[in-house]
Amino acid sequence: MTASGAVSAGKGAITRLARAKVNLSLRVLGRREDGYHELDGLIAFAGVGDRIHVAPAETLSLELSGPFAEALREQDDNLVLRAARRLAAHAGVDAGAMITLDKQLPVAAGLGGGSADAAAALQALSALWSLSPAADELYALALELGADVPICLYGQAAYVSGIGERIGPAPHLPKGWLVLANPGVELSTAAVFRARPERPGHPAHRWDRAPRDVGDLARRLGQDANDLEATARDLAPEIDAVLAALGDTGGCLMARMSGSGATCFGLYADEASADAAAAQLAAAHASWWLRSAPLEG
């Protein structure tokens, strides 16, 4: 598997892993005239995600499977189909594809699942249809589909600014493990931004040297925050319990909400601590979605 999540290709079919993005920090600097917000922060990925499979076909179709397929009611609106149609129109091709989406990530959860799916679909279909869009063309298509789609296309840890479209290199991240925890509450990104009192914020810290280990990473992330967390906690008080429970697990170096929530992450030094934490949380909170996964740059 490559860093950006390509898994396999065989007989013309392609499968890609659409990994969860994790906002290690997220600052909101202000609101633009068009209603979008200027953001700044560090994004990384977790080694867990949805799976997109594309195979040759006469027409375009999408089949959903997996634990969160039911949460995606409006099939025609699915970001995967929107990405496919947009790419075909841009390239001027009338090609079809049988797409299957194994929806493993919770929906409207702050993990950018839809954005990751859209980015993976752009990449997989470009290969299936033998298109070679220039990087800047693919980036522009991605941005039309959502503010987080370009970073999912990039697929590596990065500082992200603007409305999410400006991607800058991040220092090398140390090895570490995440526990992702979602209390089963969908939170609309637009609703969180709407409810947040407007106040000017300041950018995330930039580091001149890479963190020397995951403990150092956690300490440095402690200088920043997720500026959407307080509002999301007001809208979904379950987030308080998730953050408290993560913080109480053995070996948790820090706990924070990702994106507009409600998923939170705990950071751990090794796989054994993260697995033990996820098991402890699962025993106490049967209804939560929980995953232990490597932190990936």
Ligand X SMILES: C[C@](O)(CO)[C@H](O)COP(=O)(O)OP(=O)(O)OC[C@H]1O[C@@H](n2ccc(N)nc2=O)[C@H](O)[C@@H]1O
**Which residue do the tokens 């995606």 mark?**
72
**Residue nearest ligand ATP (C-beta atom):** 114
In 3-state terms, what secondary structure has residue 160? strand
Q: Minimum distance between the CB of residue 197 and ligand X, rounded to whole angstroms?
A: 14
Give residue 291's Cα distance to chain centre. Answer: 14
In 3-state terms, what secondary structure has residue 76? helix
Q: State the Cα–Cα distance between residues 121 and 51, nearest whole angstrom.
A: 10
Give the side-chain half-sphere CA count within 13 A for 45.
25
- Contact residue for ligand X among 1, 89, 93, 190 (CB under 6 A): 190
- Contact residue for ligand X among 147, 170, 181, 232 (CB under 6 A): 147
Query: Judged by CB under 6 A, which stretch of 31-39, 47-55, 124-132, 214-222 contacts ligand X?
Result: 31-39
Active-site residue flag, 148: yes
Q: State the Cα–Cα distance between residues 119 and 121, nearest whole angstrom.
A: 5
Q: 40, 50, 102, 148: which is the annotated catalytic residue? A: 148
Is 135 annotated in a binding site? The answer is no
Write out the binding residues for ligand X, residues 108-127 only, by CB under 6 A: 110, 115
Active-site residue flag, 94: no
Q: Does 260 bind ligand ATP (CB under 6 A)?
A: yes
Tell me which of ligand X, ligand ATP, none is bound by residue 113, counting a contact when its beta carbon lies within the kind-specific cut-off of 5 to 8 angstroms. Answer: ligand ATP
Q: Minimum distance between the CB of residue 22 and ligand ATP, rounded to whole angstroms?
A: 9
Which C-beta is closer to ligand ATP: that of 107 or that of 241? Answer: 107
Residues in contact with 69: Cβ distance below 8 Å, sequence separation at least 6, in sequence order: 101, 103
- Contact residue for ligand ATP among 259, 265, 269, 291 (CB under 6 A): 259
Six-digit token pair at 36?
Answer: 């979008």
Is 22 annotated in a binding site? The answer is no
Q: Minimum distance between the CB of residue 79 and ligand X, rounded to whole angstroms?
A: 9
From the list 5, 41, 53, the residue with the least C-alpha distance to 155 is 5
- Contact residue for ligand ATP among 46, 88, 91, 108 (CB under 6 A): 108
Q: State the Cα–Cα distance between residues 43 and 154, nearest whole angstrom.
A: 11
Q: Does 148 bind ligand X (CB under 6 A)?
A: yes
Identify whether the C-beta of residue 146 lies closer than 8 Å to the C-beta of residue 113. no
- Contact residue for ligand ATP among 38, 102, 117, 229 (CB under 6 A): 117
Burial of residue 168 (CB within 10 Å: 0-12, 13-18, 19+) is exposed
Active site residues: 21, 148
Binding annotation: 106-116
Binding residues for ligand ATP, per CB under 6 A?
72, 77-80, 107-115, 117, 148, 189, 259-260
